[in-house]
Amino acid sequence: MSSQGFELPLRLLLAFRMLIDELHAELARQGHPHMRPMHGFVMQAIGPDGTTAVELGRTLGVSKQAAGKTVEALERVGYVERAADPRDTRRKIVRLTAYGIDALNRSARIFDTLRARWADELGEERLLALESDLRKMTPASPWRLDIPGWFGTL
């Protein structure tokens, strides 16, 4: 083999996974045991002003039905709530609850802590360089986290 290029994607994935796993371990300790990796991304996509199932589906790159099911799941856990839109009675606005916002706030703080650990290990200089390099190599940042299905599909 002796392919140097194999390591890069593998390490990127491992690093991502490690951060996410540590995030959720800590979230569980802080009163959010039901939070799943998917939830954070979806709640970010919902945003502070709320959204609708159709719009959410477009943002996430999945069908509106799939988005609807995801919203149902988040509703069951208590992270979002649905309300009618007075200006368009077809629409049902999906909004984050206080509990959901708490999950997001805690996630942010935990990610900061994890980043601080990286800075501690690597040095702030090196970490800034790493972030800058990743920023340089990745697309500006459109969401489109259609991870489910993307990796799978044999």
Partner DNA sequence: ACATGATGGACAATCTGGTTGACTATATCG
Partner DNA sequence: CGATATAGTCAACCAGATTGTCCATCATGT
55 binds DNA (CB under 7 A): yes
Based on the shown chain and the rule CB under 7 A, indicate whether residue 49 belongs to the binding site for DNA: no
Asked whether the beta carbons of 79 and 103 are under 8 A apart, the reply is yes
Q: Does 154 bind DNA (CB under 7 A)?
A: yes
- Distance CA(21)–CA(9), nearest Å, equals 18
What whole-number distance in Å separates Cα of residue 24 and Cα of residue 107?
A: 8
Q: Which amino acid is at 140?
A: A
Cβ atoms 59, 45 nearer than 8 A: yes
Q: Give the up-direction half-sphere exposure of residue 1: CA atoms within 13 A in the CB hemisphere.
A: 5
Q: What's 92's DSSP letter?
A: E
Contact residue for DNA among 23, 24, 39, 52 (CB under 7 A): 52
Under rule CB under 8 A, residue 154 binds a copy of itself: yes
Q: Which of 19, 66, 101, 114 binds DNA (CB under 7 A)?
A: 66
Residues within the interface to DNA (CB under 7 A): 38, 52-55, 57, 62-66, 68-70, 73, 82, 88-93, 146, 148-149, 152-154
Residues within the interface to a copy of itself (CB under 8 A): 1, 3-20, 23, 36-39, 69-70, 73-74, 107-116, 118, 121-122, 126-127, 129-131, 133-139, 141, 145, 147-148, 150-154
